[in-house]
Amino acid sequence: MTTPGAQAPGVVLPPIRAVRERPQLGFGLGLRNEHFQDVLEQSPKVDWFEILSENFMVAGGKPRHYLRAIRERYPMVMHGVSLSIGSMDPLDQDYLRALKQLIGEVEPAWVSDHLCWTSIGGHNSHDLLPLPFTAEALNHVVARVQQVQEFLGREILLENASTYLEFTGAEWPEWEFLAELARRSGCRILLDVNNIYVSARNHGFDTDTYLAAIPADKVWQIHLAGHSDYGSYVIDTHDHPVCDQVWALYQRALARLGQVSTMIERDDNIPSLAELVAELDLARATAAEALGNWQPAARALRA
């Protein structure tokens, strides 16, 4: 069996395709409250920031003050964890209204959440739980994505979540389910390269088989992050720098997908802003090598 994270000898990744409709933001970071003041004082070499939507769904307060100030200087995207797109619970209309209001204030380049479910019987588990990859689940999620997109008046991006168990009744592998969901619902994909690596290690699939199935024109953003490696299993903890194997997978992803806006997530053991910017420079260098001295687009999506 091919070692997870390594390229499968029998898999040939298609060449880069020009995707005209994909916006290009360059290289970004997740905006965390530890760095609010530093961002304003230092104006770091960051092309854009991703905010966690739920952190700003309250009126007023210091977070909203910093959000407005930083948004005046940098493009932003919004990333959520509570849409629960795969749940059997009805869509949370209060949540969607608050999300739409925040979208109106932030004017993000795009809005994303996870391909998962978090709620059952009105209770939020606060965990990104995996879906059964069946026809029934696909039809259910497609319909819910279309409802959300109609309500928000825009496409959303859905991210592949890291997983630690699989349903025995699955009819497709995750990558085929995600690709078909994007084609049928019209949503875009936030491709988390670290999550591909984590899930491949946990379940034993080949990472390049995953990449080869993803429609390049649907991928608008890439996540990079660190994880905790326990040998026989891996947990997506966002508390370490990006490891060498994920950098290599990122390079192969770009060779497959072309230029994609990329950001680094860090949610625990958060280092200084300068250290994260240095890691972001490594992402730039990795992308340049993958794409033949490619440089970020000069144009920025600002208010």
pLDDT at 40 over 80: yes
What's residue 125's pLDDT?
A: 67
What is the residue-wise DSSP string for 189-227? EEEEHHHHHHHHHHH---HHHHHHHS-GGGEEEEEE---
Q: What sign does the dihedral 139-145-147-150 (CA atoms) show?
A: negative
Beta-carbon contacts of 121 under 8 Å, excluding residues fewer than 6 positions away, are 89
CB atoms within 10 A of CB 162: 24
Taking only Cα atoms into account, the Rg of the chain, rounded to an integer number of angstroms, comes to: 18
CB atoms within 10 A of CB 108: 22
Alpha-carbon span 122 to 246, nearest angstrom:
36
SS3 at position 160: strand
Alpha helix locations (H) across the chain?
Answer: 36-42, 61-71, 93-106, 135-152, 174-185, 193-203, 207-213, 244-257, 273-291
Is the distance from CB of 284 to CB of 296 less than 8 angstroms?
Answer: yes
What's residue 294's pLDDT?
A: 44
pLDDT at 188 over 90: yes
What's residue 61's pLDDT?
A: 86
What percent of the chain stands above pLDDT 90? 75
Residues 192, 16, 75: CA angle, nearest 5 degrees: 50
Alpha-carbon span 285 to 116, nearest angstrom:
32
Mean pLDDT of the chain: 89
Beta-carbon contacts of 85 under 8 Å, excluding residues fewer than 6 positions away, are 113, 114, 115, 116, 117, 141, 144, 145, 148, 158
Is the distance from CB of 183 to CB of 222 less than 8 angstroms?
Answer: no
What percent of the chain stands above pLDDT 70? 89
Is the distance from CB of 237 to CB of 198 less than 8 angstroms?
Answer: no
Alpha-carbon span 196 to 150, nearest angstrom:
29
What's residue 300's pLDDT?
A: 38
Give mean pLDDT, residues 204-221.
96
What's residue 240's pLDDT?
A: 92
pLDDT at 303 over 70: no
Is the distance from CB of 46 to CB of 98 less than 8 angstroms?
Answer: no
What's residue 297's pLDDT?
A: 39
pLDDT at 9 over 50: no
Beta-carbon contacts of 104 under 8 Å, excluding residues fewer than 6 positions away, are none
pLDDT band at residue 54 using 50, 70 and 90 as cut-offs: very high
Domains of the chain: 27-291 (3.20.20.150)
Is the distance from CB of 190 to CB of 112 less than 8 angstroms?
Answer: yes
pLDDT band at residue 168 using 50, 70 and 90 as cut-offs: confident
